[in-house]
A = this chain, B = another copy of it.
């Protein structure tokens, strides 16, 4: 699956994934009104009317964003929390979003940050990566429980040609509280985790890179340089560009010498672009066009930083 992601990045010359994390405050009023109308009449069992409306609005919003960016980027990353908060209707919107994005040829990274032990982790992996429930291509995984929590995901990845990105160094301000703690031998916890991720992924490589990737926040370029060296076969998913403060120049250390090895996420910087001064002219009705414009700007920005504007993907891998 990682090879498919790399091919998508090269084909579109865009190491960019659009985060579909539709906070209700990002959704224009007219979509919410349409969703309210659609929810009139009977509300399905086990669903609350308020959640049915929110979930419908979320899906319609995602659909328009997806239509606007699907020719530009290889992948999307729905954040399941934004759907789960709306209960059953929310999870239906999550499933519909995944299925719609896949129908548009996009690779779907389910940002679920799951992690448990043994048969429980395997149940999560089956739920998200086995094609029978929530059918994503990659899932994010939390490593706190160690190998017992991660290996069942890898087993399912092998069976179904899927991949995972394990949290190594997250993009948020407090990520250092535990991740940066120095251990007795002078290495930080995130380095130990990075080392393990590289080990876990050693036997599921497709070419240079493994189906076991890592999440490394774009907001931590120094740590990324260390990790890039420590995990030469680990593809990086980098959140934190834009709204969280990272810029293209922070990202050069995330990529390998060929300009590959990393895909950068932007969520609200793209999907809520119409709320920013730079794209405000699009207005509420033009929110999807604003997202497209923001995606183009981000791609140009990254191309400049990675390979000076040139398309360098004509390498064989």
Q: Which residues of A contact B (CB under 8 A)?
A: 21, 23, 46, 48, 50-51, 79, 81-82, 84-88, 90-92, 95-96, 113-121, 123-124, 126-128, 132-134, 142-149, 167, 170-179, 181-184, 186, 189, 192-193, 196
Contacts and interface: CB of A to CB of B under 8 A. Distances in A.
A95 B85 contact: no
B146 A178 contact: yes
A129 B48 CA distance: 15
A81 B114 contact: yes
Contacts of A92: 46, 88
A84 B124 contact: yes
A149 B172 contact: yes
- Residue among A146, A173, A192 facing the most chain B CB atoms (10 A cut-off): A146
A119 B88 CA distance: 20
A179 B149 contact: no
B174 A146 contact: yes
Counting every copy of the chain, the complex holds 2
Identify whether the interface residues of A are mostly helix, strand, loop, or mixed. Answer: helix
Given A120-B21, A124-B81, A182-B183, A175 B148 contact: yes
A171 B183 CA distance: 22
Given A88-B91, A189-B178, A50 B132 contact: yes
Contacts of A119: 23
A115 B115 CA distance: 10
Given A120-B21, A181-B189, A184-B182, A81 B127 contact: yes
Nearest to A119: B23
A85 B144 contact: no
A95 B86 CA distance: 12
Nearest to A182: B184
5 contacts: A84-B123, A85-B133, A115-B142, A177-B196, A189-B189
CB-based closest 9 A-B pairs: A87-B133, A146-B174, A146-B177, A85-B127, A117-B172, A85-B123, A81-B123, A148-B174, A148-B172
